[in-house]
Amino acid sequence: MSSTSSKVGQLSLIRCPATIFMHALSYRYGTTMVTVFDSRFLFDDDNVETETSVQQKKVEKLVREEYDKFLAKANANMDEPDAQLSPTLSKTVHSHYLLSSLERLSNTYSTLDSSRSWMCYWALHSLRLLNCDIPEDLKTRIVKFLKSCKTHEGGYAGGPGQAAHLATTYAAVMALVTLKTDEALSSIDRKALRNFILSVKNKDGSFSLHKDGETDMRGAYCALAVATITNILDDEISTNTADWITTCQTYEGGFGSGISCEAHGGYTFCAMASLALLGKTNRAYIPTLLKWLANKQMRYEGGFQGRSNKLVDGCYSYWQAAIFPLIEFALQSENHWKDDYVKHLELFDWKALQMYTLVACQDPSGGLRDKPDKSRDLYHTCYALSGLSIAQDYATADDPNVGDGQNRLNRVNAVFNVCVAEEQRAKEYFANLID
């Protein structure tokens, strides 16, 4: 049997549990069929209680309580004109929370002084997903602040006067891309940026996150994403990186932060997105990756966990769900199937993910959270909304999203995690520059 046909055979086997899951239970809200919150999928500890099993049952109880609140509200409003039988994304309160956060943060954020460029990105990207306008004077002030985060090394720090770091460089560049103005894009010094990226590249193709700093998968992704979107990616930056990345795929199927590390959702996204940027997604072994990834979606809650035997977390709505389009593209580009009836794969339960986000992750005061007993924050708001956008892209005309069009977000580019319009604007801008 050829290697291609062998992979197809394995793929068909691992899709069977997902197919069963997709059709195990149906709740109908208006025209939307959803498979989620089925008591048959509650965690079974086989009468052996552990700390992990106690925490899992607690989360399931919290999610069920949120779902019951939604059902009670829906039933109470059923007789009203234009009653909504689907959970609604509270776009207005989320936008207010995000805009106010860009102006002033609470004291609880004081420990995140080294992540201020990240907070700009999280808030700005969330606002663009919600299609919320950003005041022009605020855009200018953000550009000025991010300029103050540029360092003599050529990268960006988390705040003024701090050291350059690949992660905060990614955050600053993507925040400037999200602003979508000439003022923002022209503030990026591409020559200095390239010098910084090369200064933290290692001979084996990996990247240190900062000078003399740790090396992990985030470094490769941040370097490649920034280089690609600013049109400075070349062989000197990319040499050996795909080779290093493939050594980090684990026996489970996901990728770790480095060689011989545990498979993790965030690092797996960074690995697959990096391979996509290099045009080498075929270097990953897809069958075991897809098996691991599909099993990270929690059967009862509908959201994703980041690692085996962990709890659901709203941020993995993006980190895990965004990998599926990359896998789908890899399989299609390698011609694993040619049947005309295969128009669109459903490799994860996108409706269940939407339900978890809308029912369990929204804070009534604005912003999104990890799970019902956690506080809202900019990080989870960003990645829960990004994951929701990814899930919405899986809908078809015959099988609409939860809430039909009322919850629709702007479309996100799964590789960069910026909205498609902003990504295209940046690529056009940098493609026309003559250095």
Active site residues per annotation: 264, 307, 310, 313, 315-316, 370, 377, 380
Element containing residue 144 per DSSP (H, E): helix 136-148
The Cβ of residue 60 has, within 10 Å, a number of other Cβ atoms equal to 20
**Contact, 315 vs 296, CB < 8 A?**
no
d(CA 227, CA 197): 8
Instruction: Please give, one letter per residue, the 3-state secondary structure of 232-294.
Output: CCCHHHHCCHHHHHHCCECCCCCECCCCCCCCCHHHHHHHHHHHHHHCCHHHCCHHHHHHHHH
The Cβ of residue 162 has, within 10 Å, a number of other Cβ atoms equal to 17
Residue 29's contacts (CB-CB under 8 Å, 6 or more residues apart) are 74, 85, 86, 87, 402, 403
Dihedral pair phi/psi, residue 2, rounded to 5°: -70, 160
**Contact, 311 vs 371, CB < 8 A?**
yes
The Cβ of residue 54 has, within 10 Å, a number of other Cβ atoms equal to 10
Dihedral pair phi/psi, residue 183, rounded to 5°: -60, -45
Dihedral (C-alpha) 287, 292, 295, 297: value to the nearest 10 degrees? Answer: -110
**Contact, 263 vs 256, CB < 8 A?**
yes
Element containing residue 92 per DSSP (H, E): helix 91-103
C-alpha radius of gyration, the chain, whole number? 22
